[in-house]
Amino acid sequence: MSAIFKREFKAYFTTPIGYVFLALMMFAQGIGFTYMYSAGSTDVSYVFGNFFAFAAIFLLIPVLTMRTMSEDRRQKVDQVLITSPVSLYAIVLGKFFATLAIFMLGYTMTFVFQVIVAFQGVAVNWLIYVGNILGVAFIGSALIAMGVFISSLTESQLVAAIGSFAASIILYMMDYIADSIGNATVTKVVEMISFTGRYNTFAAGILDYSNAVFFLGFTAIFVFLTVRVLDKRRYS
């Protein structure tokens, strides 16, 4: 798995994808930090939760995941991978963790922001910061696993990006859709599977294990489905 991880991680920096993603994420966080600091606030939730920064998770992850499986399939090297001695889970997890590492790398500046605030003599709520980091890690892992699965279904990066983008937008807008319907049953179901609602718990510094299990379960399901897609292709 480590060989797959290294290969995929390096691949993000042989193309502009990795650089563009990191630049956009840090730009979004810089905007949030600027407003937070100018207002004399230490609520780092704004850095993570302002519309641009949070929407970037759902909008930019499809760009990261679109090539994970589809590029190998397009270049006809996927058969070499899936028939190699490496297990299918190692292949999928190697690609998954490489993408997750790039995603979390985009949040390194948030720690720098916190240190800057602390050096100004302002009390920093590190529990809120850790909660937000865990929140984006969990929600990022779930969306990345889904994106890798969608990428395994096609050899077109564009189709993979559009499919992942559409699925991500549905998940992002789920709360708004439920509110517009106004049905109590629908609202209750949406609250149970709401990504934004479960993330907001972490953002408040509340480490709810049920939310962690939800995101990890969602991730595991799509990792399993991706392995099944590769397994089917191995014998086709």
26-53 per-position pLDDT tens digit: 887 777 777 777 766 667 776 776 655 5
Q: What is the pTM of this model?
A: 0.90
Q: What is the pLDDT of residue 79?
A: 67
Average pLDDT by stretches of 10, the chain with 236 residues: 88 89 83 74 70 68 90 73 79 94 89 80 79 90 95 91 90 75 72 80 84 94 94 76
CA atoms within 13 A on the CB side of 202: 24
| Residue with token string 């050899």 | 155
pLDDT single digits (tens) 179-195 = 777 667 777 777 777 78
At residue 86, φ and ψ (nearest 5 deg) are -70, 140
> Which pLDDT score, from 0 to 100, does residue 236 have?
65
Give the C-alpha separation, 4 to 96, whole Å. Answer: 10
Q: Under a CB-based contact definition with an 8 Å cutoff, are residues 24 and 56 in contact? A: yes
pLDDT of 214:
93
d(CA 220, CA 18) in angstroms, rounded, equals 25
DSSP 48: H
